[in-house]
Structure 1
């Protein structure tokens, strides 16, 4: 899958719709690299790409997990992305033109990058209303440290519910990163 981005009228707000496939993590990294190159912020690539990868991986693993289907009702899937909550400033910044999922199609996740000097926000939207939960770090396990990495590599992070799920965001400082 090649990165399919939509750019709002503001070139400092970009987003990329991602399919519910493991290859989307690579697509998220490619999209992040292209965007940071365009913004001349290549010094921030390693940190932001790592966080984007972790947030997309979490969305794939937890937000898009198959829901149990009743034997008496046809399978129902998210019908796309609705208008995000107008009271939430992060949601308003990330709202803009997007490619909605077609009715009956698999739910999408969306990676958004927002540059507002002196910061960059990396955000991943998904259709789940469940917030992320950092587990106690198990340094022997092969997984479970993603949110600890997000916390370590970003200035701050958090999440907000939106009309069609949630958005998990991480904030990066531009100091020393602008070219």
Structure 2
């Protein structure tokens, strides 16, 4: 785990995607990451960043949500199983996904998305960050390389330059930094 990433640069780009509290959101996170990196002409970083985004979203779904999460309401209507909860409007602008109707409980009175994936390009880095409403930070476990789970944070540490977490107004953000070594 590293120190909080410095995101001070002349050219900074931030995109964000609200995610439903469902396991299909891991696929949505990967899709969002692919589209964003391609738009930034950083497609060659997809494998590493998408793996980390998937792990961070999975952890947020597994450990970062309140015990009872209502069925998400979408401003685009109900979708079939496996469909992206943000539908055809995924064009990488945060204002398009803000207020998408996830939450609205006592734990989330402002009806804000419970989980949000953000990608920040701040040359010479890309930061992948996932917010969730839980205040407890992630705790790496002893890796059991045969078990089906428990290796996520080890993968995050292996594939990113550094990672960490810090509390936010409601919950926490877990982040991972990737260096743009040969990109300009």
Would you call these one fold, judging by a TM-score over 0.5? yes
- 2:117 counterpart residue number: 111
Aligned counterparts of 1:168 and 1:21: Cα–Cα separation in 2: 19
* Number of residue pairs aligned between Structure 1 and Structure 2: 143
Q: How does 1:92-107 map to 2 (within 5 A)?
A: 99-100=98-99, 101=102, 103-104=104-105
Contact 1:20–1:106 (Cα < 8 Å) also in 2 = no
- 1:18 counterpart residue number: 19
Q: How does 1:1-179 map to 2 (within 5 A)?
A: 12-66=13-67, 99-100=98-99, 101=102, 103-104=104-105, 108-176=114-182, 178=183
Structure 1 residue ranges (4+ consecutive) displaced by more than 4 angstroms after TM superposition: none
Equivalent position SS for 2:175: strand
Contact 1:159–1:169 (Cα < 8 Å) also in 2 = yes
Unaligned runs of 5+ in 2: 1-10, 71-93, 106-110
Equivalent position SS for 2:21: coil
Q: TM-score, normalised by structure 2?
A: 0.71
Aligned counterparts of 1:126 and 1:27: Cα–Cα separation in 2: 16
Aligned counterparts of 2:52 and 2:145: Cα–Cα separation in 1: 19
Contact 1:13–1:115 (Cα < 8 Å) also in 2 = yes
* RMSD of aligned Cα (Å): 2.3
Aligned counterparts of 1:141 and 1:40: Cα–Cα separation in 2: 36
Contact 1:129–1:166 (Cα < 8 Å) also in 2 = yes
